[in-house]
Amino acid sequence: MIAELQIQFGHLDDAEDSLTRAVNIARSNEELFYLAELQRLKGLLHRAQGKEQAAREALGEALETARSQGATGWEKRILETMEQA
């Protein structure tokens, strides 16, 4: 996802815009299969911004979403991200 690259290269405002648009599109189209990943990326963004509490909350929401969808692949990826904190 472009937002992940934007985070890696320090383009945090662009990443925030990209994630906001992606979440809005996913929700408006009811295409929620990437929602957990978008929430994980939001957690990474918050972490990069130095907002640890917001990062933990976003990652917690991502984990909850993945589990509610039975998305074990996303769940594993989110748990790995949480361990990197």
Give percent of the chain above pLDDT 70.
99
Write the pLDDT tens digit of every residue in 7-19: 999 999 999 999 9
Confidence of residue 1 (pLDDT cuts 50, 70, 90): confident
pTM of the entire predicted model? 0.93
Query: How many other CB atoms are there within 10 angstroms of residue 24's CB atom?
Result: 10
Mean pLDDT score across all residues of the chain: 96
Write the pLDDT tens digit of every residue in 24-41: 999 999 989 999 999 999
- 3-class secondary structure, 65: helix
